[in-house]
Amino acid sequence: MKLFISFLIIGCLFSCKEDTGSVQQTDENNTASLITKKTIQKLNYLEFGLDAKVEKITKKWGKYTELEGVILNLKQADLSYFKDNHEIIEALITDLKQTIPKKLDSPSIVSRLIALETKIYKLESAINLSNTTTKTLMSSIKEVLVSFSNLNLQMNKKIERESQKIKKP
Do 87 and 43 share a domain, yes or no?
yes
Q: What is the pLDDT of residue 33?
A: 56
Q: Are residues 144 and 116 in the same domain?
A: yes
Position 169 in a domain: no
- Assign 96 to helix, strand or coil: helix
Q: Check whether residue 108 and residue 86 sit in a common domain.
A: yes
pLDDT of residue 31: 55
15 plus 76 within the same structural domain: no
Q: What is the DSSP letter of 167?
A: P
Number of Cβ within a 10 Å radius of residue 6: 10
* Whole-number Å distance between alpha carbons of 12 and 49: 59
pLDDT score, position 8: 74
Distance, CA of 104 to CA of 40 (rounded, Å): 29
Same domain, 151 and 119: yes
Measured between alpha carbons, how far apart are the two ends of the chain, in Å?
105
What's residue 28's pLDDT? 46
> Which residue ranges in the chain fall short of pLDDT 70?
16-33, 167-169
- Residues 44 and 104 reside in one and the same domain: yes
Q: How far apart are CA 143 and CA 14, in angstroms?
A: 43
Regarding whether 81 and 123 lie in a shared domain, the answer is yes
Shared domain for 64 and 79, answered yes or no, is: yes
Domain count, the chain: 2
DSSP 84: S
The answer to whether 160 and 51 are in contact (CB under 8 A) is: yes
The structure's pTM equals 0.77
Instruction: Quick: pLDDT tens for 67-85.
Output: 999 999 999 988 888 888 8
What local confidence, expressed as pLDDT, does residue 125 receive?
92
Residues 44 and 19 in one domain: no
Residues 14 and 54 in one domain: no
168 lies in a domain? Answer: no
Mean pLDDT of the chain: 84
Question: What confidence tens digit (pLDDT) does each residue in 38-58 have?
Answer: 888 888 888 898 988 999 989
Q: Under a CB-based contact definition with an 8 Å cutoff, are residues 64 and 97 in contact?
A: no
Per-residue pLDDT, 17: 47
The CATH number covering residue 117 comes to: 1.20.120
Q: Which domain holds residue 25?
A: 1-34
